[in-house]
Amino acid sequence: MQKFGRWLWLWCLLATSPCWAAESSFRIITVDEPPASFIGSGGQVDGFVVDMVKALQRELNDQTPMELMPEGRAMLTAQQDGNVLLFSFSRTAEREALYHWILPVLQKRWQIYVPAKSRLELNNLADLRKLSAIGVVRGDVRESYLVQLGFTNLVAVTGHQQNLQMLHNGRVQAIIADSLELAYLLRQQEQQQTIPKLAMTLRTSNVYLMMPKAADPQLLQRWQKAAKTIQLRGELEQIAVLWQQRIQQELNINVQRDGHMLQF
């Protein structure tokens, strides 16, 4: 047994990937926010940023399965476990010091939508405060933003599809989403609903791959290096171009692109 232990120690020294990578509880966690990440028709995790992470995994010879969970739970898990790659999450002032920001992947607008026939005119935060109910997803960064601003008229649910359903049923006057997210949600519905109307844009955020500050430094460095390598190789931009075309074909929506980052 002692001899085996010495051989294992020697193998660890010579191995391409550190031994702790196989033994540690490294996890890859994302959220249901199409087109960045979502459950596709085959029941597998699909998405623009999912393909980027898969490219990174190929570069690193990493086989870690991707987990999809609500945003609040994902953030809590990352803070508890440490060795977690999270995507795709907005970079905010409140999160800045808590995470390592590995790679920007997209830019999105935080938009307020109302029913198609609504006559509401929303121009600023003061108008939003006057609404009886705004639908948000529990744990979502956009919910947190409004909570921090003192909003008390929020109705939080567990998922974006449920949020959209509340708007359709008249349980809320408005919801917060983005244009592509909404288009994918509407396409997933068995009975087609009227497309909600864009009322106003709250802000724009850059969205990242990230790891908690408590992540193992060697793990972090490996993912940072891989991200830089495949970016310089042009692989990330190729993925962005393919998804730009896919979105146009599937949803008839023209998405802007800045290098490897989609903008919507």
All domains in the chain, ordered by first residue: 13-108+205-263 (3.40.190.10), 109-204 (3.40.190.10)
pLDDT in tens, 172-191: 999 999 999 999 989 887 66
Give the span between the Cα atoms of 57 and 146, in whole angstroms.
35
Give the span between the Cα atoms of 68 and 31, in whole angstroms.
5
Q: Is the pLDDT of residue 11 over 70?
A: no
C-alpha of 5 from chain center: 42
C-alpha of 91 from chain center: 11
Q: Is the pLDDT of residue 2 over 90?
A: no
pLDDT of residue 24: 56
Which is more confident, 16 or 188? 188
pLDDT of residue 187: 86
Which is more confident, 15 or 78? 78
pLDDT of residue 25: 87
User: pTM for the whole thing?
Assistant: 0.86
Q: What's the mean pLDDT when you consider all of the chain?
A: 90
pLDDT of residue 143: 95
Q: Residue 4: pLDDT band by 50, 70, 90 thresholds? A: very low
Q: Is the pLDDT of residue 256 over 90?
A: yes
Long-range contacts: 217-220, Cβ < 8 Å, 24+?
A: 218/18, 218/20, 219/20, 219/21, 219/24, 219/26, 219/83, 220/100, 220/102
Plot region of 170 (φ>0 → left; ψ -120 to 50 → alpha; else → beta):
left
